[in-house]
């Protein structure tokens, strides 16, 4: 039986394992099978694709997988205010990366293969209306079947009933207005995996590309003077922390950071917090490192306190409240949410020039999520950090792309 505090459905066998993640987050984890009974939905690369940046050859979803592995595993996260677990429940569909969600472009009603209107993306880092789906479950059959409905009232279609990966024929469309065979899916439980008591992981802050620097003048002769910070904390700490002076950097170039933590033991039940921060500071290395360490320590302390109280699924909102700032998105970058807090609470240098943060991220994973992410090799994330407003005379706002990775072993 699939049960929870919000309701229940009797079924045999139970295709999904139900669990509570904190006080306001309820999830179902498993794979989604197409109507041909042979294939499953695959979130290519574990998620993170969609739109013109992905290119026409990288459709976000395939339907040709015959077995369930990491990319075929989804988390169905019950939305606040949803109907109880059962017919009509409203969910966001999270990919195996643990950081992305399925998006029905335009809220549904799309069937074309071209980049601008690709029906389904998997690069959303937050849950909005386009990431909201209604799962209509028919548990009168065994195993139960379902339809996936977008906010426009359209239904997802697995073209040909599944078995498609070609970008010229989008595997998933969102323009169906009625339910026929191709609009029917079923749920499958994930392949059983033994819990891992503990295994080592390596974490690396690889590099950053300066798309636009923060400091500039009308002659274009200024450069950013950057300092980087990287930390990894298991449960409540203590965190492992490294900093590096990057020297003067300029737009259009990529700079190797190379901060690495090796052989960090993580169990499936552990919580891992990963932070990176890059700042432009003209106050010298000691001053810059003091700012970076304060940022990391304050965030780490807040996270450790919240983990100790068992906040769980509400951790993002609770962390923002603990810092006295906006909700920190624990998926994707956090520069926009953290920038005001950094400048007002942490920055100790009079900001008379173009000093300021240029990249920040806070990511929190369970050990089980890390195991999925690294099940087929190293997981690498490339993250855009759009800049915050810089003072007059500093040119355009900064834009940095930061690359970090985690691997098992």
Q: What is the C-alpha to C-alpha distance for residues 40 and 325, in angstroms, rounded to an integer?
A: 41
- Residue 193 is assigned to a structural domain of this protein: no
Task: List the domain range (segments joined by +) for residue 63.
Answer: 2-188
Kindly report, residue by residue over 145-171, the tens digit of the pLDDT. Answer: 889 999 999 999 999 999 987 656 678
355 in the same domain as 217: yes
CB-based contacts of 241, cutoff 8 Å, min separation 6: 229, 230, 231, 293, 296
Residues 379 and 305 in one domain: yes
Distance CA 33, CA 41 (A): 6
Q: For residue 257, is it within any domain?
A: yes
In terms of domains, do 182 and 297 share one? no
In a domain, residue 137? The reply is: yes
221: left (phi over 0), alpha (psi -120 to 50) or beta: alpha
| pTM, full prediction | 0.59
Q: Tell me if 194 is assigned to some domain.
A: no
Q: Tell me the pLDDT tens digit for each residue of 293-311.
A: 988 888 888 888 877 766 5
Q: How far is CA 332 from CA 73, 143, 277, 320, in A?
A: 20, 36, 13, 15
Residues in the chain: 409
Q: Is the pLDDT of residue 259 over 90?
A: yes
Q: Which residue has the higher pLDDT, 376 or 265?
A: 265
pLDDT over 50 (residue 214): yes
CATH number at residue 173: 2.80.10.50
pLDDT at 6: 30
Instruction: With beta carbons less than 8 A apart as the criterion, state whether 185 and 12 touch.
Output: no
Domain membership flag for residue 292: yes
Residue 386: C-alpha distances to residues 35, 113, 323, 351, 389 (Å):
41, 28, 21, 20, 10
State how many domains the chain has: 2
Query: What does the alpha-carbon distance between residue 35 and residue 47 come to, in Å, rounded to a whole number?
Result: 22
């Amino acid at each position: 039986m699939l049960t929870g505090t919000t309701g229940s459905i009797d079924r045999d066998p139970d295709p999904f394992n139900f669990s509570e993640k904190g006080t306001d987050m309820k999830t179902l984890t498993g794979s989604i099978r197409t109507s041909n009974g042979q294939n499953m939905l695959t979130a290519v690369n574990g998620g993170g694709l969609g739109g013109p940046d992905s290119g026409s050859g990288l459709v976000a979803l395939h339907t040709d997988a015959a077995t369930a592995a990491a990319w075929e595993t989804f988390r169905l996260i019950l939305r606040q205010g949803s109907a109880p677990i059962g017919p009509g429940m409203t969910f966001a569909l999270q990919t195996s990366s643990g950081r992305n969600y399925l998006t029905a472009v335009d809220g549904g009603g799309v069937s074309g293969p071209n980049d601008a209107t690709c029906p389904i993306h998997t690069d959303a880092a937050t849950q909005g209306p386009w990431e909201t789906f209604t799962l209509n479950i028919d548990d009168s059959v065994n195993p139960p079947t379902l339809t996936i409905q977008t906010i426009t009232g359209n239904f997802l279609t697995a073209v040909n009933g599944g078995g498609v990966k070609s970008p010229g024929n989008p595997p998933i469309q969102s323009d169906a207005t009625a339910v026929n065979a191709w609009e029917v899916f079923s749920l499958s439980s994930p392949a059983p995996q033994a819990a891992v008591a503990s295994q080592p992981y390596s974490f690396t802050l690889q590099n950053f590309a300066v798309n636009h620097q923060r400091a500039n003048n009308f002659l274009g002769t200024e450069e950013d003077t950057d300092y980087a910070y990287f930390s990894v904390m298991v449960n409540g700490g203590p965190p492992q922390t490294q900093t590096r002076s990057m020297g003067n950097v300029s737009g259009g170039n990529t700079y190797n950071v190379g901060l690495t933590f090796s052989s960090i033991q993580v169990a499936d039940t552990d919580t891992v917090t990963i932070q990176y921060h890059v700042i432009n500071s003209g106050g010298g290395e000691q001053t810059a490192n003091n700012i970076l360490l304060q940022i990391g320590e304050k965030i780490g302390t807040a996270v450790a306190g919240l983990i100790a109280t068992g906040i769980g699924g509400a951790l993002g909102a609770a962390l923002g409240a603990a810092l006295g700032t906006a909700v920190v998105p624990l998926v994707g970058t956090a520069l926009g949410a953290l920038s005001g807090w950094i400048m007002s609470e942490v920055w100790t240098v009079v900001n008379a020039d173009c000093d300021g943060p240029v990249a920040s991220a806070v990511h929190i994973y369970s050990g089980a999520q890390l195991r999925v992410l690294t099940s087929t090799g190293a997981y690498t994330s490339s993250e855009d950090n759009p800049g915050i407003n810089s003072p007059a005379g500093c040119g355009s706002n900064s834009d940095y792309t930061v690359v970090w990775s985690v691997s098992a072993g």
